[in-house]
């Protein structure tokens, strides 16, 4: 991606600074997964949204790190033998393959806990606004948010789903974290309530499109492109947009979600061109 | 225990009210472990500390629930096959025995996330003070707190430890959560910094005594008294104060910790008699 460059660089610098010197075996395992690379999409979306509303968005880097820590913990736990049982992630062995199951579980727990530590300690931010964002992060990533989505996903294993059921899973599993990134960015940026709602809608549809494209890439991508075992979802008989809709209809559904996402951007008073490009580009992402 | 009765009742009522009607299989598994009983020691300590400083301590019930949710998640993850592999807890099958490993992992994740949701949403509390307490909860229960202790414990399996190593494990594994309960109670109560520090010292020693007594009970208790498999620690060759010090020296160490705990109480301007009784009573707790 050639946009959000400043936010991504600032985030990667801060991330490295915080995590390149682990002080225990536990922190080493956390750092292993945190520094494994990836697009940093969620923290960058958070920072870029905040940056539309305030110049000193760098002050919010700890909150961005918290978001990435939540995302990273969810991947570690998701890869566990009792869950998806994946051996590779981003081209490297998964956390439990290196550190063992026990430490991988604890690394996930520690990343999740630490996320709230970073998010709740930002000097100079107004207490009430920061509390609102922390609270939103907890609810969007918890038992009625992301973890709920994961639990539906686990229950769906081996079951044939309807499109609505699949959509509900991904609404929570993927969408909630996108929504939280964008809305927390807007809240901490100081956006008006109406605009916070528009970011929410944008995030919901971006998350949906993102998941559909992910399913498509899983079907037609290559190991080298994605760094994880291809067709693992299909082999474990998971429901995906591709298995449910077919490749062509799945592409149409992604396009429709992008269109809705971009419609929401029109309600926002700032220059959101780059967000429009981001969602548009999802459609041509190595697929 | 015949004290902290008001706090315990208020807490149990609030806990039931919040969790007796789970709305998903995930929430059912969370509720199963949350409502499994237990002494509620940590949330009650939190509330009782706050109650020394303010009459409207009931406003802090959501924070108390958050503390209990952190404690409960740690038990669920600790019992997992990859960790202690326990089949029973408080006389009932452990979470993964009922709901399966995947959902037990997620129930733990969701309890931990939800804890920060409850703690960060307390109408009427001052933002900055609440943020400080939330932040302290995250650091005391995270990668330099409770989870760190768990990771040391995992690494110690099959190793022979020195007394200092064992103490470090328990300082974090048990002590940190006690300290967080007491200090967050003092912070949200509005105590002076000097008193917050005294509560910290009290909590450290109470946690130490608590763990030693736990080890002793594990050795000499009975299944009916404790509701979990007896001698499971000894069988898995875990280090305990009893295996390291012997029963008699372990009892002395517990008594010494209690004495130190009670010395800290003297620095507190409120009537702390009942806290003194609590720590004293630990020593005669079914042992």
Residues in chain B closer than 8 A to A25 (CB atoms): 151, 155
Q: Residue A278 has what pLDDT?
A: 87
CB pairs under 8 A between A and B: 148
Report, as an integer, the average pLDDT of A239-268.
93
Q: Report d(CA B268, CA B191) in Å as an integer.
A: 9
The C-alpha angle A104, B117, A145, rounded to 5 degrees, equals 65
Report, as an integer, the average pLDDT of A215-224.
71
Smallest Cα distance from A268 to chain B, Å = 28
- Cα-flanking dihedrals φ and ψ of residue B93, to 5°? -55, 145
In this structure, the strands spanning B88-89 and B92-93 are antiparallel
Structure confidence at residue B222 as a pLDDT band (50, 70, 90): very low
Give residues with Cβ within 8 angstroms of A92, minimum separation 6: A36, A227
- Asked if the model's pLDDT at residue A76 lies above 80, the reply is yes
- From the list B68, B74, B137, the residue with the least C-alpha distance to B105 is B74
Q: Report d(CA B216, CA B245) in Å as an integer.
A: 11
Structure confidence at residue A232 as a pLDDT band (50, 70, 90): low
A62 against B233, higher pLDDT = A62
Contact B109 A105 (CB under 8 A): no
Quickly list H helices, A157-282. Answer: 163-170, 176-189, 193-220, 223-226, 232-235, 241-245, 247-265, 273-282
Q: Residue B224 has what pLDDT?
A: 43
String of DSSP letters for B166-210:
HHHHHIIIIIHHHHHHHHHHHHHHT--HHHHHHHHHHHHHHHHHH
Task: Name the residue among A105, A117, A143 with its Cβ closest to that of B142.
Answer: A117
User: Is the whole-model pTM more than 0.90?
Assistant: yes
- Cα-flanking dihedrals φ and ψ of residue A124, to 5°? 90, -15
Q: Residue B237 has what pLDDT?
A: 63
In this structure, the strands spanning A88-89 and B88-89 are unpaired
Contact B113 A141 (CB under 8 A): yes
Q: Report d(CA A57, CA A49) in Å as an integer.
A: 9
- Asked if the model's pLDDT at residue A286 lies above 80, the reply is no
Q: Report d(CA B261, CA B276) in Å as an integer.
A: 8
Determine the number of helices (DSSP H) and then strands (DSSP E) in chain B: 15, 2
* Digit-coded pLDDT (tens) for B156-173: 988 899 999 999 999 999
Mutate to test the interface with B, among A65, A125, A142 (most CBs of B within 10 A): A142
CA dihedral A7, A12, A13, A14 (to 10 degrees): 90
Q: Residue A1 has what pLDDT?
A: 60
Contact B109 A110 (CB under 8 A): no
Q: Residue B281 has what pLDDT?
A: 85
Share of chain A above pLDDT 90, in %: 80
Beta-sheet strands, E only, within chain B:
88-89, 92-93
Q: Report d(CA B30, CA B34) in Å as an integer.
A: 6
Structure confidence at residue A224 as a pLDDT band (50, 70, 90): very low
- Asked if the model's pLDDT at residue A158 lies above 60, the reply is yes
* Digit-coded pLDDT (tens) for B226-252: 445 555 554 556 788 998 999 999 999
Q: Are A104 and A74 in contact (CB under 8 A)?
A: no
Smallest Cα distance from B88 to chain A, Å = 19
Give residues with Cβ within 8 angstroms of B101, minimum separation 6: A82, B80, B81
Smallest Cα distance from B5 to chain A, Å = 30
Contact B106 A151 (CB under 8 A): yes
């Amino acid at each position: 991606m050639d946009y959000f460059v400043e936010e991504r660089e600032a985030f990667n610098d801060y991330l490295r600074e915080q995590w390149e010197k682990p002080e225990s075996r536990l922190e080493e395992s956390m750092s292993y997964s945190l520094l494994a690379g990836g697009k940093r999409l969620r923290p960058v979306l958070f920072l870029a949204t905040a940056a539309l509303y305030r110049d000193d968005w760098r002050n919010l880097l700890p909150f961005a790190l918290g978001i990435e820590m939540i995302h990273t913990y969810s991947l570690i736990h998701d890869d566990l033998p009792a869950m998806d049982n994946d051996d590779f992630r981003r081209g490297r062995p998964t956390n439990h393959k290196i550190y063992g199951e026990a430490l991988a579980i604890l690394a996930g727990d520690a990343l999740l806990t630490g996320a709230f530590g970073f998010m709740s300690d930002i000097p100079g931010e107004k207490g009430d606004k920061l509390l609102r964002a922390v609270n939103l992060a907890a609810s969007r990533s918890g038992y009625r948010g992301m973890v709920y989505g994961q639990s539906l996903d686990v229950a769906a294993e081996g079951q044939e789903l309807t499109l609505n059921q699949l959509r509900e899973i991904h609404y929570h599993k993927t969408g909630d974290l996108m929504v939280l990134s964008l809305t927390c960015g807007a809240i901490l940026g100081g956006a008006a309530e109406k605009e916070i709602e528009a970011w929410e809608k944008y995030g919901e549809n971006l998350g949906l499109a993102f998941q559909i494209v992910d399913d498509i890439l899983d079907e037609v991508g290559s190991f080298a492109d994605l760094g994880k075992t291809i067709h693992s979802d299909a082999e474990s008989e998971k429901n995906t947009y591709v298995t449910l809709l077919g490749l062509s209809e799945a592409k149409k559904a992604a396009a429709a979600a992008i269109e809705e996402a971009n419609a929401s951007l029109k309600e926002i008073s700032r220059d959101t061109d780059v967000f429009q490009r981001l969602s548009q580009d999802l459609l041509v992402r190595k697929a």
